[in-house]
């Protein structure tokens, strides 16, 4: 029994000692996750709650910018497991940690987490180089914990398009110095920039030139299709013998006596200062790009990501990816960049190629770095990307053309070239012209509408966020071009047979206050008629058979747009007849003559005759697009008819003459089998119609002498029904025509109201 007692006491002692030594657990950090980026200045720091022996749990939190927490700000005795920060600095790295206390013991500090505050504003709309009205709406992603956003818009920017003097595709560019640059392109095009102007330089070839490289101002080379290689000696371009006929896509020279040209089917040529000779780079696929650090460190790459590296002794090849590689740039043997099809970018660290997110899906055609923290890539559809040392981000290029070549020999100057002769020059920071517009909006705002922007100009805009302790970087600039002029829509250009009161229209623009419309009878608008409209349409009052030219511009408080391209139309010169058809037979003896309406016409003159000279013509005036005969024509007789339109003293030509033959007496529909009686007639406007024993539905129409319908109604006669009575006493006294139709037969009667 004694041994058992001693064992129980030992257990109690050990158990009490262990319980007394237990400590409160260290909190586990939750959010933001370790190494999180783009956090808000008022980020919420969150951790898991813990339990302890004491009655209440409190937490201490430390926030620092030094990893050793030597500059930490400590918030103590927090009773909740999350705390909201405020006024953190943009684009700064922070460290944070938490410990817990239950009033009896205090935990260790948690392992620190790091996060980085968002560097700037993320603009979401509009997309780069879209066409906008003069009042475009911009949008961005919300940043919390700030007081304001700053917005700038300007026509001046780091990159600006230049006049190249050509619309031919340019494929590569090389700046020798600030006063001497070269660009090459299709059809043997070579441009030389001196004294601030690009001029055409004679190349001596019509082959497409794909790359250009200069060692100094007196030693330059260009290469291209059909194995073309040209040499520039400081005064003129001359052809060199390459020994191949395949396209040559790229050049690299370490000196005037050591260079390479690469091309399709794995062709690689080495220049020794005198001749070009072939070398084997290790693969036979198309080579699109070459770059060298010096004569002992050269990279080539091309089809399906194949590459090869020359170390001064031999070429060793490998695979970057499965994408065609179009551009290479090496900062060192352990920092090489490759750009490829479909927006792919790869970086080589000396042993492995790694894909880097590019923020683009466009084909990327060339790459250039000014230093390890500042690189640029150009590609299709105006793509321009910038590497800031950590990420690639989209810049505004100011063009929507495909961009093929870039050269930036220093951070102060350089050029981009591309399709349609586009040349884009680097010109510093931008946002520094007299036109600069600056705005500040409240933190709750997520969109802003510009106003009165210049017509036809490229505009660039950027944003930043601020609070009382910090201002973010400016966002990367986006660009858009404001419409240069209204776009005419109708009538379409070169339309004919246009009405006299034609309504012209154009695409509506927002952000304008007025449109000016000019109408002229000559294309030079020597003495035009000028009109104003607040909407995107205007109705003219015109004359017959004229050629008219019209154009439109728009204006707002900031300026006037260019005139739209000129549209032409021709007004009608004759009437288009409809019924009776030409050479029709068995036409009822009370025909209705119809034609196509010409809007703006005051009236029509109708002539009906028994001969095509119209010597015996009966003439009628109509203000509508028809005339109804009210007297029976002769049976089985040929008639001729024509119409002209009249407006004031102006009229069209006579329409082409039509003829028809009336129906015979024995089969005349006006008599037919309908037993119609109208009584009394004449009358005072009150009369009856009786169809005998018919059992059918009829349509009744009443016309005056000029053919205008003054009454219409549907009626039903039943066997034995009484006559139907009509009251037309509201009509003026005169002669009218009543037409009764059952779908098969037509009966007409003259009605006299006195």
- Determine the pLDDT at residue 521: 95
Report residue 249 as tokens: 């896509």
Inform me whether the pLDDT recorded for 403 exceeds 70: yes
- Can you tell me the distance from the alpha carbon of 259 to that of 281, in angstroms, rounded to the nearest whole number? 14
- The answer to whether 387 touches 369, Cβ cutoff 8 Å, is yes
Inform me whether the pLDDT recorded for 444 exceeds 90: yes
Inform me whether the pLDDT recorded for 501 exceeds 90: yes
Nearest to 365 by CA among 378, 356, 353: 378
Inform me whether the pLDDT recorded for 65 exceeds 80: yes
- The answer to whether 45 touches 61, Cβ cutoff 8 Å, is yes
Do the strands 658-662 and 686-690 form a parallel or antiparallel pair, or are they unpaired? unpaired
Residue-wise pLDDT for 361-401, tens only, equals 999 999 999 999 999 999 999 999 999 898 999 999 989 99
More confident call, 745 vs 713: 713
Inform me whether the pLDDT recorded for 719 exceeds 70: no
Neighbour count for residue 468 (Cβ, 10 Å)? 9
- The answer to whether 723 touches 689, Cβ cutoff 8 Å, is yes
CB within 8 Å of 547: residues ≥ 6 apart:
521, 568, 569, 570
More confident call, 7 vs 95: 95
Inform me whether the pLDDT recorded for 690 exceeds 90: no
Q: Identify whether 682 is preceded by a cis peptide bond (ω within 30 of 0).
A: yes
Our separate counts of H helices and E strands in the chain read: 1, 70
- Can you tell me the distance from the alpha carbon of 409 to that of 215, in angstroms, rounded to the nearest whole number? 12
Rounded to the nearest angstrom, the gap between the alpha carbon of residue 409 and the centroid of all alpha carbons in its chain is 33
Inform me whether the pLDDT recorded for 722 exceeds 70: no
Report residue 345 as tokens: 């970018």
- Can you tell me the distance from the alpha carbon of 451 to that of 453, in angstroms, rounded to the nearest whole number? 6
End-to-end CA distance of the chain: 146
Inform me whether the pLDDT recorded for 717 exceeds 80: no
Inform me whether the pLDDT recorded for 328 exceeds 90: yes
Inform me whether the pLDDT recorded for 293 exceeds 80: yes
- Can you tell me the distance from the alpha carbon of 577 to that of 683, in angstroms, rounded to the nearest whole number? 36
Residue-wise pLDDT for 505-549, tens only, equals 999 999 999 999 999 999 999 999 999 999 999 999 999 999 999
Inform me whether the pLDDT recorded for 19 exceeds 50: no
Inform me whether the pLDDT recorded for 301 exceeds 70: yes
Residue-wise pLDDT for 91-139, tens only, equals 999 999 999 999 889 999 999 999 999 999 999 999 988 999 999 999 9
Residue-wise pLDDT for 126-151, tens only, equals 998 899 999 999 999 999 999 999 99
CB within 8 Å of 20: residues ≥ 6 apart:
none
Question: The whole model's pTM is what?
Answer: 0.74
% of residues, the chain, pLDDT over 90:
77
Q: What is the mean pLDDT of the chain?
A: 91
Q: Give the confidence band of 741 by pLDDT, cuts at 50, 70, 90.
A: confident
Rounded to the nearest angstrom, the gap between the alpha carbon of residue 473 and the centroid of all alpha carbons in its chain is 28
Inform me whether the pLDDT recorded for 341 exceeds 80: yes
- Determine the pLDDT at residue 743: 58
Q: Which domains does the chain have, with CATH numbers?
A: 24-117 (2.60.40.10), 123-156+432-482 (2.60.40.10), 159-430 (2.130.10.10), 488-571 (2.60.40.10), 577-667 (2.60.40.10), 677-753 (2.60.40.3080)
Q: Give the confidence band of 737 by pLDDT, cuts at 50, 70, 90.
A: confident
Q: Which of 27-31, 602-606, 656-660, 732-736 has the lowest mean pLDDT?
A: 732-736
Task: State mean pLDDT over 453-472.
Answer: 96
């Amino acid at each position: 029994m004694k041994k058992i007692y001693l064992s129980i006491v030992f257990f109690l002692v050990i158990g009490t000692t262990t319980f007394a030594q237990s400590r409160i657990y260290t909190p586990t950090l939750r959010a933001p996750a370790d190494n999180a980026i783009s956090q808000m200045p008022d980020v919420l720091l969150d951790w898991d709650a813990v339990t302890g022996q004491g009655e209440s749990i409190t937490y201490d939190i430390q926030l620092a910018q030094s990893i050793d927490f030597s500059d930490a700000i400590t918030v103590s005795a927090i009773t909740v497991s999350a705390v909201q920060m405020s006024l953190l600095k943009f684009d700064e790295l922070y460290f944070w940690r938490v410990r817990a206390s239950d009033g009896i013991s205090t935990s260790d500090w948690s392992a620190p987490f790091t996060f980085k505050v968002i560097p700037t504003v993320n603009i979401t709309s509009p997309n780069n180089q879209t066409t906008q009205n003069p009042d475009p709406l911009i949008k961005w992603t919300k940043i919390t914990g700030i007081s304001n956003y700053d917005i700038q818009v300007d026509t001046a920017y780091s990159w600006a398009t230049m006049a190249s003097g050509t619309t031919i595709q340019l494929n590569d560019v090389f700046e020798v110095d600030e006063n001497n640059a070269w660009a090459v392109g299709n059809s043997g095009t070579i441009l030389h920039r001196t004294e601030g102007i690009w001029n055409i330089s004679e190349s001596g070839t019509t082959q497409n030139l794909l790359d250009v490289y200069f060692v100094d101002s007196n030693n330059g080379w260009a290469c291209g299709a059909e194995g073309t290689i040209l040499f520039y000696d400081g005064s003129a371009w001359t052809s060199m013998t390459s020994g191949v006929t395949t396209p040559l896509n790229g050049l690299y020279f370490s000196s005037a006596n050591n260079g390479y040209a690469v091309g399709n089917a794995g062709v690689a040529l080495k220049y020794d200062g005198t001749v070009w000779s072939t070398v084997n780079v290790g693969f036979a696929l198309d080579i699109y790009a070459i770059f060298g650090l010096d004569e002992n460190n050269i990279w080539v790459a091309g089809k399906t990501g194949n590459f090869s590296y020359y170390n001064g002794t031999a070429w060793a090849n490998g695979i970057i990816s499965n994408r065609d590689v179009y551009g290479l740039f090496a900062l060192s043997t352990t920092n090489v960049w490759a750009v490829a099809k479909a927006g792919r970018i790869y970086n080589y660290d000396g042993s492995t190629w790694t894909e880097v997110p590019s923020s683009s899906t466009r084909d990327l055609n060339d790459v250039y770095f000014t230093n390890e923290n500042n690189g640029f890539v150009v590609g299709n559809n105006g793509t321009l990307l910038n590497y800031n040392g950590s990420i690639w981000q989209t810049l505004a290029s100011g063009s929507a053309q495909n961009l093929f070549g870039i050269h930036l020999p220093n951070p102060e100057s350089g050029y981009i070239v591309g399709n349609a002769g586009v040349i884009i020059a680097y010109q510093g920071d931008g946002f520094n012209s007299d036109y600069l517009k600056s705005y500040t909006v409240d933190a709750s705002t997520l969109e802003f509408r510009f106003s009165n922007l210049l017509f036809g100009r490229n505009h660039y805009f950027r944003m930043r966020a601020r609070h009382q302790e910090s201002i973010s970087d400016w966002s990367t600039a986006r660009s858009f071009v404001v419409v240069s002029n209204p776009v005419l829509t109708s009538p379409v250009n070169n339309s004919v047979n246009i009405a006299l009161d034609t309504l012209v229209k154009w695409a509506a623009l927002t952000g304008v206050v007025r449109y000016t419309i000019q109408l002229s009878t000559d294309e030079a608008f020597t003495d035009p008629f000028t009109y104003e409209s607040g909407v995107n349409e205007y109705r003219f009052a015109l004359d017959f058979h004229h050629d008219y030219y019209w154009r439109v511009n728009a204006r707002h408080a900031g300026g006037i747009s260019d005139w739209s391209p000129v549209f032409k139309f021709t007004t009608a010169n004759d009437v288009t007849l409809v019924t009776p058809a030409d050479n029709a037979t068995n036409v009822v003896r009370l025909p209705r003559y119809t034609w196509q309406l010409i809007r703006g016409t005051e009236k029509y003159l109708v002539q009906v005759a028994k001969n095509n000279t119209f010597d015996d013509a009966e003439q009628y005036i109509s203000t509508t697009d028809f005339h109804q005969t009210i007297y029976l024509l002769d049976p089985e007789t040929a008639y001729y008819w024509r119409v002209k339109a009249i407006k004031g003293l102006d009229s069209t030509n006579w329409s082409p003459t039509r003829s028809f033959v009336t129906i015979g007496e024995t089969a005349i529909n006006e008599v037919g089998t309908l037993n119609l009686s109208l009584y009394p007639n004449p009358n005072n406007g009150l009369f009856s119609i009786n169809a005998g024993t018919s059992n059918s539905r009829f349509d009744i129409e009443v016309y005056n002498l000029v053919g205008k319908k003054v009454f219409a109604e549907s009626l039903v006669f039943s066997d034995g029904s009484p006559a139907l009575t009509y009251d037309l006493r509201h009509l003026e006294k005169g002669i009218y025509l009543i037409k009764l139709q059952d779908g098969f037969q037509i009966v007409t009667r003259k009605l006299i109201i006195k």
